[in-house]
Amino acid sequence: MKIVTSIEELRDQLRGQLRTAFVPTMGNLHEGHLSLMRLARTHGDPIVASIFVNRLQFGPNDDFDKYPRTFQSDVEKLEKEGVYVLFAPSEQELYPEPQEFRVRPPDDLGNMLEGEFRPGFFTGVTTIVLKLLSCVQPKVAVFGKKDYQQLMIVRNMARQFALPTEIVAAETYRAEDGLALSSRNGYLSEAERAEAPQLYLALDHIAAQVRAGNRNLAQLEAAAMTSLKARGWNPDYIAVRKRSNLQEPDATDLAQGAPLVTLAAAKLGITRLIDNLEI
33 included as an active-site residue: yes
Integer Cα distance of 105 and 101 in angstroms? 13
Q: Which of 30, 33, 43, 205 is catalytic?
A: 33
Give whole-number Cα distances, 188 to 116, 268, 278, in Å. 24, 8, 26
At residue 151's C-alpha, the angle toward residues 256 and 39, to 5°, is 105
Integer Cα distance of 44 and 20 in angstroms? 6
- Catalytic residues, by residue number, are 33
